Amino acid sequence: MEFNNTLMESLGIEVSSLDKKQVVMTMPVDERTHQPAGYLHGGANVALAETAASIGAYVNVDSEKFNVFGIEINANHVKSKREGTVTAKATPIHHGKTTMVWEIRIADEDDELICISRCTIGIVPKR
């Protein structure tokens, strides 16, 4: 998987670990991910969550036969943050033939919950 010249690169998102049952990714809380008031942007949390779910789905399918696309995401932002790093841990809660559902918990360095998200991924046959 190529991550250069992607939203991941722009936001500083990095993969910490990756397997079929859990994806762990980090993202800095800095000028790239702030909203105008200087706090972590909720949209940056959502981008991190969908990225983790999408990459997790990708490793769960035969990538020569299928593409994966986010088709729905929700997020509850439960705590604000001004600086540091957040870590997303994504785990699959449903793996069907045409969809997957992933739960993504985003926490800070003290393991305080920042955001919880659920993302539905479509599994689409390549033509």
Annotated catalytic residues are 50
Contact assessment for residue 29 and residue 86, using Cβ atoms and an 8 Å cutoff: yes
State the Cα–Cα distance between residues 51 and 34, nearest whole angstrom.
18
State the Cα–Cα distance between residues 29 and 51, nearest whole angstrom.
16
Contact assessment for residue 111 and residue 78, using Cβ atoms and an 8 Å cutoff: no
Half-sphere exposure of 83 (CA within 13 A, CB side): 0
Contact assessment for residue 108 and residue 42, using Cβ atoms and an 8 Å cutoff: no
31: DSSP letter? T
